[in-house]
Amino acid sequence: MYENSFLQALFLGIVEGVTEFLPVSSTGHLIIAGDLIGFVGVPGRIFEVVIQLGAILAICVLYRRRLTAAVLGVGSDPMARHFVFVILVALIPAGVLGLLFHDFIVSVLFSPYVVCTTLIVGGIAIVAIERLDIEPNIHSIDMLDRRTALKIGFFQCLALVPGVSRSGATILGSLVVGVERKTAAEFSFFLAIPVMIGASAVNLWESRGLIETDHILIIATGFTAAFIAALIVVQWLVNFVSSHGYTAFGWYRIVFGSLLLTYFLMRT
């Protein structure tokens, strides 16, 4: 049973690392994958929270120079202050709504049927927005102003619903307001760092009494798998969307969501 939990943790860690920064909903994939394989190796949401931190660590490693420059230069460098400021502005809407509706989201919306539906709807939105072929006028994060950052932040609120995808919501919001594709992806990466660290801190505190010594190796396995998978996928994603856009992810969501919805309806 322990060996089975170890393999399940490895699998779910890879799922998290692969999907966290793609506009396909990592939470949705984890809910579905966990349901399909019957993962019960760790109680509560501790495992999910920790493997998300593994994916975030990958972003910190890949963009360590930009992040270090921002942290060290925030007091003296105007560009560093601007970088931090637009990220904080974009965090406000989802942060407020997340605090207000956290219990409702966790207790009501974390359902395979909600995830399947939002996967499909989100996929349609991606395809539709890409077909609009909006001409970008913002080609770097340094060009973002606070109003544009706030607009992207409101789009990020959609990701509070499981299956919508945090990266998908922020990327699509960025495209709508005129951010070019590569910059949209990178801005979503940077927004993920405080969002996921904050959400993880809350969930870990709420679940602090559930973790046991036997869970540590399982959690570490998932964390490592998520970190390595995210390292690979993030670099690939930036190159892919620069040349091909996001339409392929939209069709993937539509097909995957439809198949899963059919599966769950037939199972009931």
- 163 in helix, strand or coil? coil
Q: Which of 1, 260, 245, 256 is nearest to 131 (CA)?
A: 245
Number of domains in the chain: 1
The whole-number pLDDT of residue 1 equals: 44
Task: Report phi then psi at 179, rounded to 5.
Answer: -90, 135
Q: Is the pLDDT of residue 215 over 90?
A: no
The whole-number pLDDT of residue 150 equals: 95
Mean pLDDT, rounded, of the chain: 87
Q: Which of 17, 41, 40 is nearest to 29 (CA)?
A: 17
Tokens of 119: 């996967």
Q: Write out the residue range of the structural domain in which residue 191 sits.
A: 2-267
Q: What is the pLDDT of residues 141-195, one digit of tens each?
A: 999 999 999 999 999 999 888 888 888 899 999 999 999 999 999 999 999 898 8
Which pTM value belongs to this model? 0.86
Tokens of 161: 């619903």
Q: What is the pLDDT of residues 225-249, one digit of tens each?
A: 999 999 999 989 989 998 888 999 9
Q: Which of 15, 254, 267 is nearest to 117 (CA)?
A: 254
Residue written as token pair 């993920």: 192
